[in-house]
Amino acid sequence: MKQYTGFSGPSGIVIDSEGKLWVADTGNSRLLRIDTVTGNCIGGIDRSMGLLRPIAVACDNLKNLYITDAQTADLCRYTYFGKRAHALGEIRKLQAPSQSAISSDGIIYLAETGADRLHVFGSDGNSILTLDMPMRKLGPLNKPSGVAIGPLGEIYVSDTLNHRVIRFAWD
């Protein structure tokens, strides 16, 4: 077992395509990249690059990070080198955005906890779909906080206050 220290309220984590660990160090307003073999910090993104309160992180196969920032209420795309590439959902500020996930074809899924919605963005950052209405037989989402993609492309959403996980399959 290995322990990584020096964080202030670490929250979201993800392993990138190179096997490195990214940690949203929320209390220190930064995202750190950790070599999982040596345990050394080998880079990161901080306040000087626009991060204020990162709470979640996801990555795609093109060396892009998708960072959810609780302070700015948005989901932004950054390169591994810290260049801010694009803000998703910036037409209107999101209400308590939380976890995101990226499919193998670059589709971005974002749980917006404060507005009881799930957003779907294309790889270009444009909105494709927003699930924010009662679903037949399932009822409305109630504080969705997590999202994951299964091996066959199915989407799993943790519907926190409904005490369930919902599986969406796009047939």
pLDDT 10s digits, 31-83: 999 999 998 999 999 999 888 999 999 999 888 899 989 888 888 889 888 88
The encoded tokens of residue 68 equal 């959810």
Q: What is the pLDDT of residue 124?
A: 81
Q: How confident is the model at residue 91 (pLDDT cuts 50, 70, 90)?
A: very low
Residues 56 and 68: beta-carbon distance below 8 Å: yes
pTM of the model: 0.83
pLDDT of residue 125 exceeding 90: no
pLDDT at 19: 93
Give residue 140's Cα distance to chain centre.
22
Return the residue matching tokens 């073999």: 37
The Cα–Cα gap between 7 and 78 comes to 21
